Amino acid sequence: MNVHFIQHEDFEAPGAYLQWAVSRQHKTSFSRVYQNETLPQDSVTIDLLVIMGGPQSPDSSPQEYPYYDAPAEIALIKQCIHAGKAVIGVCLGAQLIGEALGATYEPSPEKEIGVFAIQLTEDGLQDKKIQHFGKSLAVGHWHNDMPGLSPGSQVLATSAGCPRQIVKYNDLVYGFQCHMELNAEVVELLIKAEKDLLHKSQVHRFVQTPDQIRSYDYTEMNYKLFQFLDHLEATYRYKKK
């Protein structure tokens, strides 16, 4: 399987998504746009496209981020979806998937940074790729916005601070507003990049302190993400037959 990652910043690293791809001996490739690496010209060589997060929004301008080309990323996402490829968006990536399907992103009711529980909806509990998460699962968060909902999309998980944590757009296309890829290394990168985190933890009810975030064991969350990815790969291979 060929897994291509779009990475917007060095501190928004793929973490457990990359660990899964390597452990399954998949081929990996990258567009590190913050290093001015180009996007693939088309979807031909991609089986799974993973679009990571970032401080940008889908409508951030080239003046703000000269290396970030949201329309080009959205065009590639559309190509992958129309070609029947598997697509996962994380945080900003989830919002870009929504935009590719005509659904505008929105501000989340609450800023979330840290580890908080998500709750699976009835649709989530019925979805064979994520029902193993259980009714509630503690996962990572680092966001202000949330993805839009296209016709036919399903919200599979919510949290107290955000009503759209996991969105299923079709059997092969999922948006994760939450960050199940976090591990100790990625957490340190994010903490270093986040300005005034200690102050933010005092003024936002869903923002934790650096020490609280560091203290969490991400192993179970990563393992459950691996299981989701295995299910997604199996679905993709079945549909390719």
> At 131, which CATH number?
3.40.50.880
187 has pLDDT over 90: yes
HEC profile of the chain: CEEEEEECCCCCCCCHHHHHHHHCCCEEEEEEHHHCCCCCCCCCCCCEEEECCCCCCCCCCCCCCCCCCHHHHHHHHHHHHHCCCEEEEECHHHHHHHHHCCCCCEEEEEEEEEEEEEEECHHHHHCCCCHHHCCEEEEEEEEEEECCCCCCCEEEEEECCCCCCEEEEECCEEEECCECCCCHHHHHHHHHHCCCHHHHHHHCCCECCHHHHHCCCCHHHHHHHHHHHHHHHHHHHHHHC
241 has pLDDT over 90: no
How confident is the prediction for the chain on average, in pLDDT?
A: 98
Query: Taking residues 78-99, what's their average pLDDT?
Result: 99
- Closest C-alpha to 117, from 103, 137, 100: 137
Q: Give the count of domains, the chain.
A: 1
90 has pLDDT over 90: yes
Contacting residues for 203 by C-beta, under 8 A, at least 6 apart: none
Q: Which residues pair with 114 in a beta bridge?
A: 141
- What CA–CA distance (Å, rounded) separates 142 from 73? 21
- Segment 199-213, tens digit of pLDDT: 999 999 999 999 999
How confident is residue 179, by pLDDT bands cut at 50, 70 and 90? very high
- Segment 98-138, tens digit of pLDDT: 999 999 999 999 999 999 999 999 999 999 999 999 999 99
- Closest C-alpha to 68, from 26, 107, 31, 19: 31
pTM: 0.98
Query: Taking residues 176-187, what's their average pLDDT?
Result: 98
Q: For residue 225, what are the domain limits?
A: 2-240
Query: Taking residues 19-37, what's their average pLDDT?
Result: 99
- What CA–CA distance (Å, rounded) separates 174 from 166? 7
Query: Taking residues 184-201, what's their average pLDDT?
Result: 96
